[in-house]
Amino acid sequence: MKCPICGGELKKMVEKSNLKGFGVLTEFYRCVSCEEELMTEDQFRKGMDKIIELKAKILVSSVEGDYIKLPKELAKRFKGKSIELIPGEDRIVVISK
């Protein structure tokens, strides 16, 4: 494939990218001449699908620390209930009271 910017050769790359705060292996093309980086629609979709999958598994705390955002599935399950959060070394355990 040729670069649409300079006409140089595009080389397929796979690198860990920080997309939307998530480290995800991302496939894309980089021009060997001008170093422009491009993605096909399929490459972009695969990266976004991986982010959505990871985001569904993670609890996100606010900077102020006064609330925690839960994935939709957990929020529905615990709606109207009191919960206890138990911090662990690399996770937070959510227990319904």
- In the three-class reduction of DSSP (H, G, I as helix; E, B as strand; rest coil), residue 27 is classed as strand
Q: What's the token pair of residue 51?
A: 């982010």
Most confident of 15-29, 41-55, 61-75: 41-55
- How far is C-alpha 74 from the geometric centre of its chain's CA atoms? 19
Whether residue 55 has pLDDT greater than 80: no
Domain ranges of the chain: 1-58, 59-97
Provide the residue count of the chain: 97
CATH 1.10.3470 fits 1-58, yes or no: no
Percent of the chain with pLDDT over 90: 30
DSSP element (H, E) containing 54? helix 41-55
Q: For position 1, what pLDDT does the model report?
A: 87
